Structure 1
Amino acid sequence: MPKFAKQSLWEPHVWFWLGLSLLVSLLYYLPALIQVLSHAYVVQDDARQHVTWMLRFVDPDLFPNDIHADYFQAVAPKGYTTLYWVFAQLGVDPLLLHKLLPPVLALATTALCFITVLEILPVPFAGFLSALLLNQGFWMRDDIVSATPVAFVYPFFFAFLYFLLRQKLLPLLGIIALQGLFYPQVLFVYCGILLVRLLRFDGWRPGLTYDRQHYRRAIAGLIVAFFVLLPYVLRNHGFGPTVSAAESLQMPTFWEPNWSEFYLSDPFEYYLRYWLCGKRAGMLPGDWCSVDYGPLNWLYPDNGDPTQPPIHLSRVRFGLPQVIFALLLPLLLRLPRRFPLARWVNGNAHVFGQAIAASVALYVLAYLVRFKLHLPNRYTEHTFRVVAILAAGIGLALIFDALLRWVQSARVRLAPLGLAGLLTALLLGYPLFLRINENAYPITDYVIGTAQPELYEFLAAQPKDTRIASIAPEMNNLPSFTRRSLVAGGRGYAIPYHLGYYNEVVGRSLALIQAQYTPSLDTLQQFIQQQEVDFWLLQRNAFRPGYFRINPSLVEYADRIGDLLAQIESGIVPALSRIPRRCIGYEDQTYQIIDANCVLTLNRLRRNPA
């Protein structure tokens, strides 16, 4: 069988397609860049928890005795933390760095994806197609734009595959170590791939490979992984124990539709959606499951009744090009006469099946021991994306090559040219129609401050040990925008996997809600003293009954706050709504900031609320 000559990365046509791939990456980043530059107060959603605490690297006096900062610092991977620390010593603010890293990571991942494809099909155009799909996929998720540990999965994963296929042992071991230092869950997938590669199949009969190099790589990789993971096993971050499967079944936060949703209550959903597309338990990437096509959504009908919600099975949609053409690749490879370029796909393509097998095995294991290995879908979603992008790029290259040959041989060239043009248009244009989880493409999850700048400036001017109490949704932005601590953070801060942390945060949140709506001044003052509250951020509509239906904290804890809503509806007036104006430090049309120290000096309240 003839073979393509191995492509040198220094050849001009390779550089052309690589340069075009990098240009595409920059173009896809532009909408995110515009969002970052258009607002003074903007931060990525996950970065509020995973990056904001690192402001301590710039000023060690920030967030003193802050349980949220302490927790996220304790569980952060060391490599990730060290990267931000190094830049902080160089004068780069962590919140600025988290906005600068995404294009760097995207470009690095694009280049690594491109050269990895060449190890399987030495055709630069195939590398470009995979890079295109990769960059389109980046903005269906908020992973890489977050600059949190998960953002480093993709450059390391492609680098791992590249050095594995190139049989470069030392760089491979380096990537294994780095992966463990930044996002250790995927390190298990690497080890699984190395072990699966020890197997060979004679027909359907499995056996062990005779290639000693596979054994050397597997043993060396497992040794490196062991020593990298050992500190995670031995460390005591002080927020344990890890929640068990039995405990999670009794915790409301793990049940749909709460923020940490893992379980579904409907048996129909359980079997059809839970295992495939569950938010944290499903095997498939979430963006593969909940993609709507806006004006083209008629292609994906739901239950036909506009007055009823769609059946959940309709959420399992596989209309993305990276899924379609990845699934087509095995068929295309079996038709070399119709798709001649299939002959040039080499044996390195076996790594696709090896990666899928390893990740599925780890998914099952993680589910059986949940949550000791964290979340099951962390072991499949990244692998499936990487494999799909590589396979789809190769599959598309085979199809374009066949169409080009058809054009060259056909007397009437309109049909093949039309098909090629339609395929190109769909490939380039489909992101314009995407809606993912009801959000328009691209997905960045940048959070823009909704309060007046004066509110942030007022709080930022307070002492560094200031503690703010609030259940207003805007409270989650305050640590990032004001660099001041919260008594209890909102849903994104209440991570339930370590009970020592979670129970404390939930306990504070419930006590805060009770204090905000208690009619007793003594109870309010007692909470302020116990939690050392300095300021209380209130929305002006916080004491209206409708607020209980729109505030995320009140919705999340609705079954644990007793009859507070009934009290408000019955006319019982909360003490906090009757605070005299001299205790209001700041106010605008939406918010009031109450000086908690002033509240402690009160002996009585006004009869009527403001």
Structure 2
Amino acid sequence: MRFVCCSQLHNNDFLGGSSHRPVRPLDWMAVCLLSALVFAVAHRLGLASPYVVNDDVRQQLFWMARWLDPGLYPSDFLSDYAAAYVPAGVKALYFAAAKGFGCDPILFSKLLTGGLFVLLAASLFGIGATLEGPMLGWFCAAMAWAMPYFLKNISGGLSRAFAGPLLALFFWAWLRRSGRGMAWVLLLQAATIPYIAMLCAGCACLDAVMARLTDRPAAPFPARPVHGLVLAAAAAAVLGMNQALAAKGYGPLVGRAALAGDPVFGPNGRLDLFPLPNPFLDLVYWPFESIGLFLEWGLFPGIATLAVLAPMLWIGARRAPWRDYIPLYRPAAMLLAGSLGLYALARAIALVLFVPDRYISYSINLLYALGLALCLRWFFGGLLARRFGGPALLALAVCFGCWRLSGVGLYDYRADAPLCSAVAALPKDALVAGNPKDLDNVLTFGRRNVVASFELAHPWSVGAWKIMTPRLGHQLEAYYAKDSDTVREFARVYGVTHMVVREGDYAPKAMEKGPLFAPFDDRIRELAAASGKFALLDGAEFPYTSPEPGVRLIDLRRQPDAPRGQASPE
């Protein structure tokens, strides 16, 4: 595929450089290789250790290990819900990696993250190259390296990882007026990240309607009968996933009335979803946090970096030939208008369309990135005209990206490696209970089913939450019980074979800061305040091994009234 300049820019040596030449295959190769380098350096710890992952990997991917070992994760609510929660296109990729190449899901999630990061940078390069040529293309690609927002959401190779790259790819096809390209990308979105498919379809249809109401050229998509079929197929995929969740008893998504009345959605709840945040945070504050060095150096240094950047952007904006970028304005305006419309609707009927900020955050960060690239490209016009100016800026951008993106979107769980190794040695049909926050690692790295974990506690999924709530409640009653009979009864009812106990969970400080989330915190404090000692800390009643300091692994199979068939080791 050959791309040429789409605009005639000023022939001024101060601004120009080599922006007029067509993009060559070597440019694409360089963009991909340098982006892969930035990713590899930034996520070097994740690539080196299976225990350094994105935190949400622990709720969506663990069950896929069944494809490598069918004995893992016998059918259970958590594993079945997690499987239903992942879109079909994402499942297909991981299935192909597991069955075709024997690739572990956690490892593949890291490789997929790198591939999607490269796709994002290449798509941004394509946007810049379509507008002007390779010069602007490089500045656009550098925004993927310089803004942590993108890699933070790509990290983990989950469904949301496809949002940024596929939105940029869709926008690139839109800018090129490629209806076929937009159609294919929309289908990919429907299979991997449904709410972005809704967003892009809505924005494209808005463009088509506005074109009919004005004297503007017709929209590239939808423009043909086959495009209607594409829209129908995308809608069917999105609705089909929602219906499948509902049919299995996990849906629907919670409504605004429930949001307002349940503390689980409040500041001390599972996620701080209500009251909904001020739109200023979604539109300005959070995006600018990714532009200034707030995350790395703090508030005042972040403000200082914005103060340094502001005059550079002002000078670049004054130098830029904005009339030559007219092809950008209409798609950008339609994307922004459509995103704001869906964002407003999602806030009005929260959370029926899921979390409202999903409909604006990707779009606004993409548009900010393009604006930054345009202004910086013209600010550095004089330097680019010099012989080594371009290569020097490129090297600086790569180094900056390697530094700024280091560890973005990753969490280090290596401290629990001994515990997870001990759990992995248990029979494959073992069922583990404990503190839900510990059970995420047990579930993912220990590869054993658990009663209820923190990451899979989704109060926004009405049906799933009805199933999860009693499991969480009973597990916590047993974990903080003062009598051993409560623990044994819990194990008998649920078929629990082992419990993981972290001794620090029973300390007064743990109770003060909030042991889990509302509304369970109050009940946990009640249990802790009752007279007596915590049953699970009685080594005589519940013998244990200690895979790591301060952590006990208790075998409940030898307890009185242990479930039949689980009273002896495998």
Determine if the TM-score, normalized by the shorter chain, exceeds 0.5. yes
| Structure 2 unmatched ranges of 5 or more | 1-5, 11-17, 563-570
Map of 1:467 onto structure 2: 431
Contact between 1:52 and 1:480, CA under 8 Å: does it hold in 2? yes
TM-score, normalised to structure 1, is 0.78
- Residue 444 (1) aligns with residue 424 (2): no
Q: 1:195 to 1:543 in 2, by over 3 A?
A: closer
Map of 2:560 onto structure 1: 600
Q: 1:350 to 1:396 in 2, by over 3 A?
A: farther
Deviations 1:507-564 (A, max 9, x none): 2222222212222222221111111111011113333322323574267722233522
Name the CA distance, whole Å, in 2 between partners of 1:215 and 1:143: 29
Contact between 1:366 and 1:372, CA under 8 Å: does it hold in 2? yes
Map of 1:288 onto structure 2: 288
- Structure 2 counterpart of 1:256, one-letter code: P
- Structure 2 counterpart of 1:171, one-letter code: G
Deviations 1:400-433 (A, max 9, x none): 226768x99xxxxxxxx9xx99999997787799
Aligned Cα root-mean-square deviation (Å): 3.8
Name the CA distance, whole Å, in 2 between partners of 1:483 and 1:381: 34
Map of 2:443 onto structure 1: 479
Shift of 1:10: 13
Alignment of 1:209-220 (within 5 A): 209=216, 211=218, 216=223, 219=228
Name the CA distance, whole Å, in 1 between partners of 2:76 and 2:412: 22
Alignment of 1:154-553 (within 5 A): 154-198=164-208, 207=214, 209=216, 211=218, 216=223, 219=228, 221-235=230-244, 236-264=247-275, 274-277=278-281, 282-283=282-283, 286=286, 288-289=288-289, 292=294, 295=297, 297-299=299-301, 332=317, 338-339=319-320, 341-401=321-381, 442-453=407-418, 455-471=419-435, 473-490=437-454, 492-549=455-512, 552-553=515-516
Map of 2:119 onto structure 1: 108
Identity level (%): 23
Map of 2:15 onto structure 1: none
Q: 1:298 to 1:423 in 2, by over 3 A?
A: farther
Q: 1:539 to 1:472 in 2, by over 3 A?
A: farther
Q: 1:515 to 1:79 in 2, by over 3 A?
A: same
| Structure 1 unmatched ranges of 5 or more | 265-269, 303-316, 409-416, 435-439, 603-610
Deviations 1:61-97 (A, max 9, x none): 3222322211121121111111111111111121221
Name the CA distance, whole Å, in 2 between partners of 1:14 and 1:224: 35
Shift of 1:575: 2.0
Stretch deviating more after TM superposition (252-261 or 362-371): 252-261
Name the CA distance, whole Å, in 2 between partners of 1:398 and 1:24: 22
Shift of 1:233: 4.6
Q: 1:48 to 1:32 in 2, by over 3 A?
A: farther
Shift of 1:566: 2.0
- Structure 1 counterpart of 2:414, one-letter code: G
Q: State how many pairs are aligned.
A: 543
- Structure 2 counterpart of 1:461, one-letter code: A
Name the CA distance, whole Å, in 2 between partners of 1:368 and 1:540: 44
Name the CA distance, whole Å, in 1 between partners of 2:429 and 2:99: 23
Contact between 1:200 and 1:208, CA under 8 Å: does it hold in 2? no
Map of 1:572 onto structure 2: 532
Shift of 1:370: 1.6
Contact between 2:51 and 2:417, CA under 8 Å: does it hold in 1? no
Q: 1:520 to 1:474 in 2, by over 3 A?
A: closer
Name the CA distance, whole Å, in 1 between partners of 2:323 and 2:536: 75
SS of aligned partner of 1:64: coil
Contact between 1:535 and 1:594, CA under 8 Å: does it hold in 2? yes
Q: 1:384 to 1:51 in 2, by over 3 A?
A: same
Map of 2:158 onto structure 1: 148
